[in-house]
Amino acid sequence: MKVGIIGSGHVGLVAGACLAEIGHSLLCTDSDEAKIRQLTAGTVPIYEPGLEDLVHRNAAAGRLGFTSSLAETVRATDILFICVGTPTSETGEANLYYVDSVATEIGALLTSPKIIVDKSTVPVRTGANVRRAVERSSGRSDFEVVSNPEFLREGSAVEDFLFPDRIVVGVESERGAAAMRELYRPIVEQSFELARRRVPRLPSVPLIVTTVSSAELIKHAANSFLALKISYINALASVCELAGADVEEVAEGLGLDRRIGKAFLKAGAGYGGYCLPKDIAAFHQICRELGYDFRLLREVMEINRTAKQRIVQKVADALWVLRGKTIAVLGLAFKPNTDDMRAAPSIDIIRALQEQGALIRAYDPHAMETAKAHLSDVTYCRSPYEAAEGAHALVLLTEWEEFRDLDLERLRRAMRLPVAVDGRNALDPERMREAGFDYECVGRPRRPAARRGESPHA
């Protein structure tokens, strides 16, 4: 099928490359001409495991092309995916400016019936507004509007797109449903080459067909529920600290219940990223507009704000006065395996430490370049050990795999004080204490540090 992608960012580019991989003919566009120039030259502008290979392979096979012309994209394709950003506005609701302008632009270019698929995360009822915008600018009504929310996670986006738990398509008519079933057939049947080579092979993927409104609501409901799980375990972490219980043990005992599940029960410095914070805020707002005050969601957001604040408090408790103290921050990205810094908890935590006069030395395997747009007055370092040099405390904020095998002796020797606050419960408390660290994490009992001669206030 001939498919156009409008907005070639984290979602659009992955969707484009994956749909090409399963055999379709893809043309991707973006209003950012520099991005299109980069992609045309073979440079993938984001770090996402497996994406570069997929882009190169499918571009070389002639199934994946890039253009800065929306007109060319509309002319050459039958199905158009809207994958532009839906950032949060001041008051929390989704800013639908980009979706509205793309819908209006598509309408002005429409000369034959197309299927217009909204993949951006949008509040319920956006589909109806997309239809109206296209109708107004095109003067026609022989097109389909489909809602096809995306559930991929940054860091495993390619895997998630090709091997999803489910595909949701919200349609206006059987014509839209048939086109989407045909488009996703290789994924549903797991019949594309990578799926056939996969060991073990996955069973077929459920594709559910709903109304447009239900599909839109499923996405907001899913992200809000995931945020709720994280805030739930973070609230439990606070209770564990007060009760002397261990949140890791509690999470294991909870998560083994299949009705609850283990995923998203990891206590730490709170959720962040481009999706959860803005989607839960937008869902809260649209519910309010519809006449329902979803107070539970407000509490989820509040617990998340506190989760970040508690990390800052733990550092302050360990060092007393923060003014003039140097803090080594390990991990900046909102999660491992991505360089995305949008709404990363590290931003709020670092700013709060800086406000109290702390100096920040930071290291992240992939996100230091992207971090520069979000943070100022940070010394970026080439390794965790360089970041630790002369530091009074170390704070871990992203659980990158490489932090699990740190040379703890070397790290401690580089630091002025052996204080470590693990905001992701990613390090082994025993090993940390054996290495002489005064180690704090989230929701776990505090045992005395095994000190090796030095005083924590040296």
Query: Annotated active-site positions, please?
Result: 275
* CA–CA distance, 364 with 390 (Å, rounded to integer): 18
Query: Alpha-carbon Rg of the chain, whole angstroms?
Result: 24
Scanning 3-11, 140-148, 255-263, 423-431 for contacts with ligand NAD by CB under 6 A, the matching segment is: 3-11
* CA–CA distance, 286 with 294 (Å, rounded to integer): 10
Minimum gap (Å) between residue 204 Cβ and ligand NAD: 22
* CA–CA distance, 240 with 231 (Å, rounded to integer): 14
Q: How far is CA 69 from CA 60, 315, 381, in A?
A: 21, 51, 40
Closest CA relative to residue 278, chosen from 333, 223, 205: 223
Among 51, 79, 152, 207, binds ligand NAD (CB under 6 A): 152
Residue 83 amino acid letter:
C
CB of 165 or CB of 174, closer to ligand NAD: 165
Scanning 24-32, 205-213, 320-328, 367-375 for contacts with ligand NAD by CB under 6 A, the matching segment is: 24-32
Half-sphere exposure of 372 (CA within 13 A, CB side): 6
Among 1, 23, 32, 156, binds ligand NAD (CB under 6 A): 32
Helix/strand/coil for 22:
coil
* CA–CA distance, 387 with 129 (Å, rounded to integer): 50
Among 275, 322, 395, 432, binds ligand NAD (CB under 6 A): 275
Scanning 54-62, 148-156, 328-336, 407-415 for contacts with ligand NAD by CB under 6 A, the matching segment is: 148-156
Per the structure block, which two tokens stand in for 387? 């970041």
- Binding characters for ligand NAD, 42-61, by CB under 6 A (x = yes): --------------------
Residue 167 binds ligand NAD, judged by CB under 6 A: no
Query: Contact at 8 Å (CB) between 151 and 165?
Result: yes
Which stretches of 30-157 are assigned E, i.e. beta strand?
64-67, 79-82, 115-118, 144-147
Residue 207 binds ligand NAD, judged by CB under 6 A: no
> How many residues make up the chain in this entry?
458
Residue 316 amino acid letter:
A
Residue 82 binds ligand NAD, judged by CB under 6 A: no
How many residues at the interface with ligand NAD, by CB under 6 A?
26
CB of 83 or CB of 183, closer to ligand NAD: 83
Scanning 27-35, 287-295, 305-313, 370-378 for contacts with ligand NAD by CB under 6 A, the matching segment is: 27-35
Among 3, 4, 10, 427, binds ligand NAD (CB under 6 A): 10
Scanning 26-34, 166-174, 347-355, 413-421 for contacts with ligand NAD by CB under 6 A, the matching segment is: 26-34
- Binding characters for ligand NAD, 86-125, by CB under 6 A (x = yes): x-----------x--xx-----------------xx----
Minimum gap (Å) between residue 160 Cβ and ligand NAD: 9
- Binding characters for ligand NAD, 235-274, by CB under 6 A (x = yes): ---------------------------------------x
Any residues with CB less than 8 A from the CB of 106 and at least 6 apart, and which? 6, 70, 74, 80, 82, 114, 116, 134, 137, 138
* CA–CA distance, 358 with 352 (Å, rounded to integer): 9
Total Cβ atoms within 10 A of residue 249: 12
Residue 182 amino acid letter:
E
Minimum gap (Å) between residue 122 Cβ and ligand NAD: 7
